Chains A and B, each alone.
Chain A
């Protein structure tokens, strides 16, 4: 497109079928015909020829104006950026003033001084758009000046001129190129506008703007006249803008990050026989059976992130879901609520909340269950509250929508709840915005909101991880108090065994998307049955002395899609034998573990 434009501009004389200025009043205002492909204008001039000659202006005009804008803007911007102080202040105030006047008006005033005509109009636009380049150059200088490597260059002894040349000119190039394309597009539009109102290119010279000017006057007689020059402008500006987009993308992205994980090694987890189903128990608040979650990364095959996940939580009980990052804890928590995002799908299993399978509900019933029956507290309280509404509003909203409370009642109950989670001056704090609260306070609010409808199950996803250590303990105490009062079951997701030990009744240890061991807290710490659990326990920092360096489990967690078909921990396990290459089931009655050698191993308890 742009090449065609350049070609037309360069070889206008040879390409055009007619002289663009040759008049033929008898054949004026004709539609497209064989002789005149795009018809003729009010003076019988060939529209196509004028269009092609107009392309010359469309090349010259932006080149002139943009060139001038760069020549004026960049040096001044560099100068004031470097000089700073008084110079900077004055110039920036002038720039602000220019920018606050509508651009066309600035151009009109400058044209008033210089007179009409293409080159003068472009001079005016050049001055106008130089402000953009000035700001850009200035900001580049200011950022670069602060950059560490400029400082270090100064220490090494390079003179200030060399710093300016080397560092700043290198960094200014990418944004400058993008700004040039933006300006070219803007100048094209502005030139057309100025020529259209008769103070840019002067007739009879052909420019797309002047052509539209005459087209507008003969709108009733020949509406077609406006089409060719308009399309020419739109197509050209579009091409320039798209070029700018492409440049911005390619420059902005910089060095492409190589994609992790070679697809060739990717291997799907072999479907394995699920562990025998658990018998329902009347005391169960939640029973998860054989949950399987798959993720499809962009453009790649679907891989499992959670497999054969089964556990139960009794009423009023707290189950800790513990594992390293990437083990699938968080996605499990979200999966229970049906809150998984696009590209993630639950392919198997049941989530029985009392007698309802949450996964079997339709959208509306699921929305109804969320909040009322099951609620969630997230890791980072400062991002899980909406920044644009007061915290009181966000709790009251839930009470109104989910419980049908009136505004008045919702407000009263909100203040009660805020008081209950231990926030002083609750009525006043209800009117605070999230950013006005500390992380601990914000998490208390999030807890108050989650509990506002007294759910049967509360899922807490690393609720203390983002908080200060001192605040962590307070929030854990709060959870315990609230559980005594509200009697809900809790699924407490954490990577921190110490936190889990503090708050949970039982712990489920996760590794590579599956549970490897489930046991009551004391039993798990005193007598770990799975080597991975033992590894985690020995890696726990403990108070007495730091004498032996923390033991580390060797190797690293394989990414989803790279899990072995047998025991997923085998490659890192000091006790692995040949039998571990086969898939392993959960075994046991009171406590469960997924290890072939569970019965013969005696593993070291927590210290």
Chain B
């Protein structure tokens, strides 16, 4: 197992490199000159050159990339063009909100998706199944941010059960933290819940027809035990696969849902950076997001191996 983790960590390196080359060259394509944006129209020629040199933009592209890469490897992602904030600090400061949201929604979608999927898969064609399948189809068509708006207007604005906006860090108050991320995580988790429910349902229907389920029943194990122990573990395999796909969807969705609930996470940081054409900030955000995605996918790979012994390295 340790070897598998090691291998996977090593395999991440080339992928990260490619992502870094891509973001770096894409950001080099930015149409406007960042120097102009910084000093404005009235800047003199000397000022212009000075800023250009300070930002290292007078260097050739490859030199800039190599320089950036070397510093990135030591954990230094550069400084924002517009305020002297370290990119790393800015991203790390915003990360907890986005991650809370994302993982909250992962939890919600596993719980909801699993429950709905199992209930539907146990009796295909029953009203439970039809309701769940219908719900999943609708759930996948609802934009997460719209669901967020609806949730906010019902549970925050009208009923006042939850705050409508803002994020409270976990370290400040665990209770308030939970309240502040509940609605956004629900909004974000909807479509993934639906995706998981669909997968679990069809996996469950398939697994329940397997010989080993009949054999377990023949051995006199109770239906409950057969479903919860023997069938569920097999039906979990596709859940893990879906999660590994959905993590990019959820992280991306978090950037948008944050806007509904005015949460200062990566989303607003990224949008501001794009508006200002703040190159180091964009690069840093992309790189760290990709890192998060890869770590989550590594975790799901390990989980996959735990659930499915056939997938383990021998």
Which residue numbers of A lie inside 8 Å of B, CB to CB?
Answer: 93-94, 96-105, 108-115, 185, 189, 192-193, 196-199, 212, 215-216, 219-220, 223, 226-227, 229-230, 233-235, 237-238, 241-242, 334, 337, 339, 363, 367-372, 375-376, 378, 380, 383-389, 397-398, 401-402, 433, 435, 446, 449-450, 453
Known: A101-B289, A339-B214, A385-B212. A371 touches B138 (CB 8 A): no
Contacts of B289 in A (CB 8 A): 101-102, 105
Q: How far is the CB of A447 from chain B (nearest CB, A)?
A: 12
Q: Are B18 and A237 in contact (CB under 8 A)?
A: no
Q: Are B141 and A237 in contact (CB under 8 A)?
A: yes
Interface residues in B213-267 (C-beta closer than 8 Å to A): 214-223, 225, 229-230, 233-234, 248-249, 251-253, 255-256, 259-260, 267
Q: Are B18 and A94 in contact (CB under 8 A)?
A: yes
Q: Are B309 and A370 in contact (CB under 8 A)?
A: no
- 10 tightest A-B CB contacts, nearest first: A371-B220, A102-B252, A370-B220, A104-B252, A237-B141, A223-B153, A383-B211, A238-B141, A230-B146, A112-B274
The size of the chain B interface, using a CB distance under 8 A, is: 73
Contacts of B217 in A (CB 8 A): 339, 370
Q: A-B contact count, CB below 8 Å?
A: 224
A215 to B146, alpha carbons, bound, how many Å?
10
A219 to B251, alpha carbons, bound, how many Å?
25
A518 to B153, alpha carbons, bound, how many Å?
76
Q: Which of B219, B225, B297 contacts A370 (CB 8 A)?
A: B219
Q: How far is the CB of A54 from chain B (nearest CB, A)?
A: 13
Q: Are A397 and B221 in contact (CB under 8 A)?
A: yes
Contacts of A242 in B (CB 8 A): 137
Q: Are A100 and B294 in contact (CB under 8 A)?
A: yes
Q: Which of B210, B248, B289 has the most CB of A within 10 A?
A: B248
Q: How far is the CB of A134 from chain B (nearest CB, A)?
A: 15
Counting CB contacts under 8 A, is B100 at the interface?
A: no
Q: How far is the CB of A213 from chain B (nearest CB, A)?
A: 9
A-B contact pairs, 10 of them (CB 8 A): A93-B18, A99-B248, A102-B249, A103-B249, A108-B255, A227-B150, A237-B140, A375-B220, A386-B212, A386-B216
Contacts of A446 in B (CB 8 A): 215
Known: A100-B19, A104-B255, A216-B260. A386 touches B234 (CB 8 A): yes
Counting CB contacts under 8 A, is B29 at the interface?
A: yes
Residue of A nearest to B32 (CB): A115
Q: How far is the CB of A221 from chain B (nearest CB, A)?
A: 10
A353 to B235, alpha carbons, bound, how many Å?
36
Q: How far is the CB of A187 from chain B (nearest CB, A)?
A: 12
Q: Are B270 and A108 in contact (CB under 8 A)?
A: yes
Known: A101-B286, A367-B220. A113 touches B30 (CB 8 A): yes
Given known contacts A370-B218, A371-B218, A449-B219, what 11 new A-B pairs fall within 8 Å (CB)? A96-B15, A98-B22, A102-B248, A108-B274, A197-B255, A241-B141, A367-B223, A370-B217, A372-B220, A376-B218, A388-B309
Q: Are B30 and A230 in contact (CB under 8 A)?
A: no
A238 to B15, alpha carbons, bound, how many Å?
35
A54 to B248, alpha carbons, bound, how many Å?
28
Q: Which of B149, B222, B225, B255 contacts A105 (CB 8 A)?
A: B255
A237 to B146, alpha carbons, bound, how many Å?
13
Q: Are B267 and A383 in contact (CB under 8 A)?
A: no
Counting CB contacts under 8 A, is B285 at the interface?
A: yes
Contacts of A233 in B (CB 8 A): 141-143, 146
Q: Are A385 and B26 in contact (CB under 8 A)?
A: no
Counting CB contacts under 8 A, is B40 at the interface?
A: no
A220 to B154, alpha carbons, bound, how many Å?
10
Contacts of B164 in A (CB 8 A): 219-220
Q: Are A219 and B153 in contact (CB under 8 A)?
A: yes
Residue of B nearest to A223 (CB): B153
Counting CB contacts under 8 A, is B54 at the interface?
A: no
Contacts of B14 in A (CB 8 A): 93
Residue of A nearest to B283 (CB): A109
Residue of A nearest to B214 (CB): A339
Q: Are A219 and B219 in contact (CB under 8 A)?
A: no
A453 to B209, alpha carbons, bound, how many Å?
25
Q: Are B212 and A387 in contact (CB under 8 A)?
A: yes
Q: Are A105 and B286 in contact (CB under 8 A)?
A: yes
Q: Are B152 and A212 in contact (CB under 8 A)?
A: no
Q: How far is the CB of A112 from chain B (nearest CB, A)?
A: 4
Known: A189-B143, A339-B217, A388-B234. A105 touches B270 (CB 8 A): yes
Contacts of A376 in B (CB 8 A): 215, 218
Q: Which of A99, A193, A215, A398 contacts B149 (CB 8 A)?
A: A215
Contacts of B1 in A (CB 8 A): none
Residue of B nearest to A453 (CB): B220
A232 to B71, alpha carbons, bound, how many Å?
48
Chain B interface, DSSP helix/strand/loop, else mixed: helix
Q: How far is the CB of B207 from chain A (nearest CB, A)?
A: 10
Q: Are B220 and A102 in contact (CB under 8 A)?
A: no
Q: How far is the CB of B74 from chain A (nearest CB, A)?
A: 22
Q: Which of B219, B234, B251 contacts A398 (CB 8 A)?
A: B219
Contacts of A227 in B (CB 8 A): 150
Q: Are B271 and A197 in contact (CB under 8 A)?
A: yes
Q: Are B255 and A387 in contact (CB under 8 A)?
A: no
Q: Which of B215, B270, B297, B308 contacts A384 (CB 8 A)?
A: B215
Contacts of B146 in A (CB 8 A): 192, 212, 226, 229-230, 233-234
A450 to B217, alpha carbons, bound, how many Å?
11
Q: Are B137 and A196 in contact (CB under 8 A)?
A: no
Interface residues in B299-314 (C-beta closer than 8 Å to A): 307-310
Q: Are A401 and B221 in contact (CB under 8 A)?
A: yes
Q: Are A369 and B22 in contact (CB under 8 A)?
A: no
A384 to B219, alpha carbons, bound, how many Å?
11
Q: Are A197 and B141 in contact (CB under 8 A)?
A: no
Residue of A nearest to B250 (CB): A102
Counting CB contacts under 8 A, is B31 at the interface?
A: yes
Q: Are B140 and A435 in contact (CB under 8 A)?
A: no
A371 to B154, alpha carbons, bound, how many Å?
54
A102 to B249, alpha carbons, bound, how many Å?
6
Counting CB contacts under 8 A, is B277 at the interface?
A: yes
A387 to B213, alpha carbons, bound, how many Å?
11
A453 to B220, alpha carbons, bound, how many Å?
10
Contacts of B145 in A (CB 8 A): 192-193, 196, 212, 216
Known: A212-B145, A433-B309. A100 touches B212 (CB 8 A): no
Known: A112-B277, A219-B152, A386-B234. A94 touches B22 (CB 8 A): yes
Q: Are A378 and B215 in contact (CB under 8 A)?
A: yes
Contacts of B18 in A (CB 8 A): 93-94, 96-97
A102 to B210, alpha carbons, bound, how many Å?
37
Q: How far is the CB of A193 from chain B (nearest CB, A)?
A: 5
Q: Which of B27, B138, B233, B270 contacts A234 (CB 8 A)?
A: B138
Q: Which of A111, A185, A371, A388 contacts B221 (CB 8 A)?
A: A371
Q: Are B271 and A368 in contact (CB under 8 A)?
A: no
Contacts of B154 in A (CB 8 A): 223
Contacts of B214 in A (CB 8 A): 334, 339, 378, 384
Q: Are A197 and B26 in contact (CB under 8 A)?
A: no
A115 to B249, alpha carbons, bound, how many Å?
23
